Structure 1
Amino acid sequence: MASSLSRKTAASTTTPDQQQLLDAYETLLACSGRMLKAAREADWEALIDLQGTYLTEIEMLRHLEDAEVALDDDGRQRKAALLEQLLAQDREIRQRLNDRRNELSSMILDSKHELALTRTYRYYQEVSEAEVIEATQRFKSS
């Protein structure tokens, strides 16, 4: 509600170019919010899918920023608030991705240890069986 109120206030005092720039930031923030939701739900496939949309939105925003749209005081304040929200969401997404990476690394390490133990056990099991067969043959020939 506050977001739409801020946009309505900004719309009444801004030029179309300024509003277009602020709308692009709003769109980027909404996409970032969907990415954060996916990260919180550990829906990594959805997060990856949304990343393409996010990059497209950033590219569109870059073109608007390159046009050097002049912002009035309200526009600058709104842009700063949107950027703060984007950065906060980005921090949380990155933290959740780092946590996931650490989790996967741990799983890979556990898997490597398990494989090494299995190989070692198999080797000693084969060696033990060979020794039993050898010992049996020695006792038979005596």
Structure 2
Amino acid sequence: MTAIARHPGDTLENVMDDKALLDYYEAIERASEQMLQAARDGDWDSVVRLEGACAVLISQLKHAASQRALRPEETRLKTRIMKRILENDAKIRNLAEPWLEDLDRLLAGSPRQLH
């Protein structure tokens, strides 16, 4: 599928740059969804692994975004994606809290058994 210029003065390269930026946000969103599922499954190793993958994507996104700004319609889509990422993050943190409490107790020497 070929992208076409949508605004006067757009070039195919500009349109593809916009798409590439949005692709980063979408990839981060997919990774956050996978992290949430791993957290629901209690697979914290996968959560940590996916968090590392997100960090790489975020670094790449920062570099790409410094080269090109999004148009208002892409910014609105980015905002919706970011809200879903933040919602996933909040859900992951809620799932992680009991695990972190258990880890705190273990490190403090509490005799409570881990799940």
TM-score for the superposition, normalised by structure 2: 0.76
Cα drift, residue 106 of structure 1: 4.1
Q: What's the C-alpha RMSD, in Å, of the aligned pairs?
A: 2.3
- Gap runs ≥5 in structure 1: 1-7, 112-142
Higher mean displacement: 31-40 or 95-104: 95-104
In 1, Cα distance between equivalents of 2:72 and 2:51: 31
Larger Rg: 1
2:107 aligned with 1:109, yes or no? no
Which amino acid is 1:110 matched to?
Answer: P
Cα drift, residue 79 of structure 1: 0.6
Deviations 1:29-72 (A, max 9, x none): 001111111111110111122122111111111111221x2322
- The within-5 A match list for 1:12-91 is 13=6, 15-67=15-67, 69-91=68-90
In 2, Cα distance between equivalents of 1:96 and 1:37: 10
Which amino acid is 1:96 matched to?
Answer: L
Higher mean displacement: 86-95 or 35-44: 86-95
In 2, Cα distance between equivalents of 1:77 and 1:54: 21
In 1, Cα distance between equivalents of 2:37 and 2:85: 13
In 1, Cα distance between equivalents of 2:71 and 2:66: 17
Which amino acid is 1:89 matched to?
Answer: N
Cα drift, residue 22 of structure 1: 0.5
- How many residue pairs are counted as aligned between the two chains? 102
TM-score for the superposition, normalised by structure 1: 0.63
Which amino acid is 1:62 matched to?
Answer: K
Identity %: 28
